[in-house]
Amino acid sequence: MKMISGLDEDSFVACCRLVLQKSEELRDGWRWEQGSEGYLRKTVLHSVSIQEAENSEREIAHKECQSSEAVLLDDEDDDNVAGANCPADPPLWVHSEFHVLFSSSYRTPVMFFRSNTLEGRALSLDAMWSFIKPKLKSSSEEDLLSTVTQQEHPLLGQTFFMLHPCKTNTFMRPVLQAAQRENRAVNYVLTWLSVVGPLVDLFPILLCSRTRASVSERLGFQPTL
Amino acid sequence: MADDKDVLRDVWYGRIPACFTLHQDQVTEREAEPYYLLLPRVSYLTLVTDKVKKHFLKVMRAEDVEEMWLEYEGTPLKWHYPIGVLFDLHASSSILPWNITVHFKDFPERDLLHCSSNSVIEAHFMSGIKEADALKHKSQVVNDMQKKDHKQLWMGLQNDKFDQFWAMNRKLMEYSTEDGGFRYIPFRIYQTTGERPFIQKLFRPLSADGAVHTLGDLLREMYPAAVTHEGAEKRLQVVIHGIEPLLETPLQWLSEHLSHPDNFLHICIIPVPSD
């Protein structure tokens, strides 16, 4: 892979092709969405812990759990029983989507993501932060995540969360420079994904452990699993 | 040039008369009167509609009130687009005032971004400015500015202060004579059909051999359907700030004079109105 300080669209597509190959090998579920501008996409159905969720999120989740419990009970209407069967902090099942687009303005990949409950309710940024924040291990991770904002998806026109590309070069540069010094080829998108993906921490990234280790060495923090 | 400065002022002070009406499904304690307001083309809905919110809150119960959102003929209005763009895109062919419907419940989560405070608008606005400068100057000008300079740009917009805004914005409009123009032109082309909300790609103001690129050149590359061929019937209008600039206009000039405060040229492609 050619060593460049930023990325151009063709290189982005080429990097993505390799990511897809690796994903195929590891059954990691990434797909290519074709269009005049293509992008990487992955959807995940998973349960997240909401111990630190806002009270409103917990209330809503609790109600959803209670109503599904009530359906299972027989005719004897007993509110106490329904309440007792619901665990204090039920795990929340969510359907999450992750898109990796190319930003021609910043010459970097950009991450867009969103999560919905199975009832189709969109998760707020606060709710997502409550899952992510406890897992952050350093202030540089927090700094990166401070760039997460609600944005309009530039190709779909729908509401997503976006990890802002402006700080990307800051953390990619030392990694790329190190690789250049050692005459090592670097897949920009794969390296970027191995840093950013675990930060968002809503999906497992089955990447080669060597990539993750070398990245954490350069950056001084451990991308969380 | 005196004429060019006038263009800057005309763009800044463009207004659209609007009439805000509460949606019939909203429960009120008494009849809600419509509210009339002149909207600045270059601002954002959530920045200028506090009075609208206050007006309707007077007739509503607190428990019926969630985040306010606006809609035109069933289409939720994206507050993060400049007001003038929303009007040109959705309502330019209808008679004035622009009739906007106000909602306080059932926020369309999929279609609209939340706007919990003015700092969200500020962050969005500054993000546009930074991205535009990444395209124009590889971010050098905006990064050389201090935090108070960034604040001045925002305050200028928020408080409708042309001079305060342009005292700082002129720096973002400069370029060296040997370059002949910006590195790339920040633009977005909006359309009313299809899923894709806008087209934004890299495009230079000058060609490799130094020829000046025009609006027509940009469209031929990015949206050829908008350029009518000889003898063919014109089906689409190319609208910037409510006007149709000549396709021969140099793109660099358009970028310097008809950009929005976020430093982007927002271009609307709309069907020719059928009377």
Asked if B12 and B162 count as a contact pair (C-beta separation under 8 A), the reply is yes
CB contact under 8 A, A105 and B135: yes
Strand (E) or helix (H) holding A63: helix A55-72
3-state helix, strand, coil in chain A (%, to 5): 45, 20, 35
Which range in A28-37, A134-143, A145-154 is most confidently predicted, on average pLDDT? A28-37
pTM: 0.86
Q: Give the pLDDT band (50/70/90) at residue A15.
A: very high
Q: Is A95 helix (H, G, I), strand (E, B) or coil?
A: strand
A166 pLDDT above the threshold of 80: no
Q: Which of residues 14-73 of B touch A (CB under 8 A)?
A: none
| Total CB pairs under 8 A between chain A and B | 45
Least confident of A64-78, B159-173, B220-234: A64-78
Tokens linked to B16: 């659209």
Reported as a pLDDT band with limits 50, 70 and 90, residue A205 is low
User: Chain A contact for B135, CB < 8 A?
Assistant: yes
Cα–Cα distance for residue pair B181/A131, rounded to 1 Å: 47
Per-residue pLDDT, A7: 84
> In this complex, which of A106, A155, A164 lies closest to B196 when CB atoms are compared?
A155
Annotate B16-43 with b (16+ C-beta within 10 A) or e (fewer). bebebebbeebeeeeebebbebebbbbb
Residue A132 — pLDDT band, cuts 50, 70, 90?
low
- How far does the CA of residue A129 sit from the closest CA of chain B (Å)? 16
**Interchain pair A157, B195: CB under 8 A:** yes
Residue A212 has pLDDT above 60, yes or no: no
Q: If pLDDT is split at 50, 70 and 90, which confidence band does A71 have?
A: very low
Q: Mean pLDDT, to the nearest integer, of A88-108?
A: 86
B53 vs A45 pLDDT, higher one = B53
pLDDT at A4: 45
User: CA-to-CA distance for A65 and A52, rounded, in angstroms?
Assistant: 17
pLDDT, residue A133, reads 63
Least confident of A17-26, B99-108, B187-196: A17-26
* Location of structure tokens 């310097």: B256
Confidence of residue A69 (pLDDT cuts 50, 70, 90): very low
Run of H or E including A43: strand A39-48
Lowest mean pLDDT among A66-70, A172-176, B246-250: A66-70
Sequence spans of domains, chain A: 9-219
Mean pLDDT of all residues in B3-26: 94
pLDDT at A149 over 90: no
